[in-house]
């Protein structure tokens, strides 16, 4: 998960931590960042008022996560395996046994900021205490802000996802958020980024049913085109009157799916008079949690069959993996 500043949309929750404990967590976050200060000597501060930072490369973030892990912190960044994830498992085990517990996850954002979320269970209450660290020129860490919010529930799934449900929707976030706790192979991460990232479990059934070339019409829906368009172009689709030109719709859909133009016109609301297709857009980004390729099978015909776990809600068990066949 790649975060942004977690502001508050309604009155902030009352922390279950004492003031001294909050200060200790703030100091711990600064200390963690200081342990990586030499990696930030070249940090670019684009705006000194709001400390807007230049983006870090994945390798730079990976080095920071590794350094943090070596210092004993639970650390993670988008597309990079979590270090010391066993601490999260121990936290969840104690929580499940009804014992008071806490664990801090340091999330290294794309621009290098540290988002340190301390998950707390105390007196029957679940809460997050959040500390954000930003950077000054020369690699000097400073406290950006803190925040606190209540959680509805948490869950650690057998597949290795730590999922938490916020009681209120946090700015730039979802009601449900998640971290991958257990390591994921780099080739699976690469396949996820290339074929799965940005797709939704909610708006269409592409990732929730078994399909191939023989039944592809069962999963082709006009609601998916916005996400497929974004994957193909890197831009968000602009729709006028709920319809999109047939030329661009057919060009992109026939690239990504084993389907003919005739099949598309049969199942996707094609209008011959305007030469357009229906196209409903529900969200500018997919719902969490996002899909991941956790394993795959190489087929004799040069295709891959990826395994993608399907989970909709924290209160439901993990569904069995569904598969689709993609050509490389």
What is the arithmetic mean of pLDDT over 188-193?
88
pLDDT at 199: 82
pLDDT(327) > 70: no
Percent of the chain as helix, strand, coil, to the nearest 5: 25, 30, 45
What is the arithmetic mean of pLDDT over 13-30?
96
pLDDT(181) > 90: yes
Q: Are 206 and 219 in contact (CB under 8 A)?
A: yes
pLDDT at 125: 96
pLDDT(312) > 60: no
pTM recorded for the entire structure: 0.76
Tokens, residue 16:
């279950």
CA-only gyration radius of the chain, Å: 22
| Residue appearing with tokens 């959680």 | 151
Q: Are 277 and 222 in contact (CB under 8 A)?
A: yes
Q: Are 212 and 305 in contact (CB under 8 A)?
A: no
Query: What is the pLDDT confidence band of residue 30, given thresholds at 50, 70 and 90?
Result: very high
Q: How far apart are CA 170 and CA 150, in angstroms?
A: 10
Tokens, residue 70:
């070596």
Q: How far apart are CA 53 and CA 135, in angstroms?
A: 8
Strands 101-108 and 74-77: parallel
pLDDT at 91: 98
Q: Are 255 and 172 in contact (CB under 8 A)?
A: no
Q: How far apart are CA 75 and CA 106, in angstroms?
A: 5
Closest CA to 257 of 308, 221, 287: 221
Q: What is the pLDDT of residues 218-243, one digit of tens each?
A: 899 888 898 899 888 888 888 888 89
| Residue appearing with tokens 């020129």 | 137
| CA atoms within 13 A of residue 72's CA, in its CB half-sphere | 3
pLDDT(275) > 50: yes
pLDDT at 172: 57
pLDDT(311) > 70: no
pLDDT at 62: 96
Give me the residue spans of the domains in the chain.
19-183, 189-327
Tokens, residue 117:
């979320």
Q: What is the pLDDT of residues 89-145, one digit of tens each?
A: 999 999 999 999 999 999 999 999 999 999 999 999 999 999 999 999 999 999 999
What is the arithmetic mean of pLDDT over 60-84?
96
pLDDT(24) > 80: yes
Tokens, residue 81:
């395996």
DSSP 8-state code for residue 53? E
Q: Is the dihedral of CA 211, 216, 221, 227 positive or negative?
A: positive
pLDDT(248) > 80: yes
Q: How far apart are CA 283 and CA 207, in angstroms?
A: 17
Closest CA to 89 of 75, 109, 103: 103
Tokens, residue 21:
């404990």
């Amino acid at each position: 998960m790649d975060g942004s500043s977690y502001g508050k949309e309604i009155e902030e929750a009352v922390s279950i931590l004492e003031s001294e404990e909050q200060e200790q967590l703030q100091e711990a976050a600064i200390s963690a960042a200081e342990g990586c200060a030499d990696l930030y000597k070249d940090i670019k501060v684009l705006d000194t008022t709001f400390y807007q930072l230049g983006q870090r490369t994945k390798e730079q973030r990976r080095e920071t996560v590794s350094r943090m892990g070596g210092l004993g912190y639970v650390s993670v960044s988008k597309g990079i395996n979590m270090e010391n994830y066993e601490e999260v498992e121990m936290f969840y085990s104690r929580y499940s046994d009804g014992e008071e517990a806490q664990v801090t996850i340091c999330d290294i954002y794309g621009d290098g900021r540290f988002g340190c979320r301390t998950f707390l269970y105390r007196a029957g209450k679940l809460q997050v205490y959040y500390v954000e660290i930003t950077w000054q020129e020369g690699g000097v860490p400073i406290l950006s802000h803190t925040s606190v919010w209540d959680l509805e529930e948490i869950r650690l799934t057998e597949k290795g996802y730590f999922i938490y449900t916020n009681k209120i929707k946090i700015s730039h976030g979802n009601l449900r958020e998640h971290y991958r706790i257990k390591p994921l192979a780099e080739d699976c991460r690469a396949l996820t980024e290339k074929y799965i990232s940005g797709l939704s479990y909610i708006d269409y059934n592409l990732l929730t049913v078994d399909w191939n070339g023989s039944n592809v019409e069962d999963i082709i829906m006009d609601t998916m085109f916005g996400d497929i368009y974004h994957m193909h172009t890197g831009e968000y689709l602009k729709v006028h009157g709920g319809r999109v030109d047939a030329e661009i719709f057919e060009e992109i859909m026939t690239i990504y799916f084993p389907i003919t133009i005739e099949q598309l016109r049969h199942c996707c609301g094609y209008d011959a008079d305007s030469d357009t297709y229906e196209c409903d857009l529900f969200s500018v980004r997919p719902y969490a949690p996002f899909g991941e390729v956790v394993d795959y099978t190489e087929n004799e015909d040069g295709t891959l069959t990826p395994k993608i776990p399907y989970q909709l809600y924290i209160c439901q068990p993990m569904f069995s993996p569904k598969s689709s066949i993609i050509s490389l």
